[in-house]
Chain A
Amino acid sequence: MMHPSSSRARAIAAPAPVAIPVGALLPWAVFGLLLSVLMLYFVGAEQGAVSLISGHEVHEFVHDGRHLLGFPCH
């Protein structure tokens, strides 16, 4: 039995996944990688084992997060 809903069901079915070409991905990967690593660095290591900015303010501010997120803190 042809039912109107069967064609509608076909129309809203998810299309087969199309891979994003590596060439299109690469610039975003470089940008995203830099941005993400920078953010993780400030949470995880700045003014601890390594120090770009002198002082302890960054370390003290993210102190609890650094402990709870699992980074060695002091």
Chain B
Amino acid sequence: MIAGRLLARGMIAGCLAAALAFVFARFFGEPQVALAIAFEAARSAAEGAAPEHEMISRSVQASYGLATATVLYGAGFGGLFALVFSFAYGRLSFQSPRVLALLLAAAGFVTVVLVPDLKYPPNPPAVGNPATLALRTETYFVMIALSICVAAIACLIGQKVAQVRDAWSGWLCGGAVFVLLIALVQLGLPDVNEVPDGFPAVVLWRFRESALGMQGVLWGSMGLIFGALATPVLTGRAQKF
């Protein structure tokens, strides 16, 4: 039962963290989305195209839509995070659930967000050719999957080295293997270069900053909240498996 309780708490922690990430995105991300959409509208007006029909209004997309997407994302990764935590707890040499949760959240952020985003950074509206969407979606998910595989390999090698030598050597070797394999993977995957001419560089940069910041808020607070929620489950007297 303990794994089930951790899973539920992971999803709760993900939802709470997503609420914080939503507030961040609302203040820092949405202004950049609005600027990008203004660029898109100006471009299609210059081409003489009719303005795009809004199926769902911009204000709904930027509030309820963004909140729903963020909470679903938080709950989804909160669940996966709790499963990884349940497996790692007692198998890695960290005594405190809080420390383990925060470390795993940092590792999750680097593996699932930072590394894939370095190769395929988040793009605002108006950036990206709709004709290549299928290919871009595929390469993006392949990048995430390979990043997770590389992290697992680096973790296994690091742990082996730590057993034979010492903890410091283990971290160094694991880290080096991770950087090396990620560099090879990112060299091997195709590049995407679809920023339209005249798109303001500062909007692109601010958008990507806020997208990464939003993920930082999400993963950071998820690690902290989950650590607090998991501690009573793990240190409670009646432990039943």
Contacts and interface: CB of A to CB of B under 8 A. Distances in A.
**Interface residues of chain A: helix, strand, loop or mixed (majority):** helix
Contact of A40 (B10, B61, B73): B73
Interface of A: 14-22, 24-25, 28-29, 31-33, 35-40, 42-45, 48-50, 56-57, 60-74
Given A20-B241, A61-B60, A61-B61, A70 B116 contact: yes
A70 B133 contact: no
A32 B6 CA distance: 11
B86 A72 contact: no
Nearest to A65: B69
Contacts of A43: 69, 72-73, 76
A64 B87 contact: no
Nearest to A26: B3
A40 B77 contact: yes
A36 to B, nearest CB: 4
Given A43-B72, A70-B113, A20 B122 contact: no
B136 to A, nearest CB: 4
B137 A61 contact: no
Interface stretch (B163-171, B181-189, B209-217): B209-217
Interface residues of B, number: 65
A38 to B, nearest CB: 8
B91 to A, nearest CB: 5
B80 interface: yes
A57 B56 contact: yes
Contacts of B113: 70
Given A32-B83, A61-B68, A70 B215 contact: yes
Contact of B122 (A60, A63, A69): A69
A72 B72 CA distance: 17
A39 B72 contact: yes
Contacts of B175: none
Given A17-B234, A28-B3, A42 B72 contact: yes
Interface string B41-71: 0000000000000011000111011101110
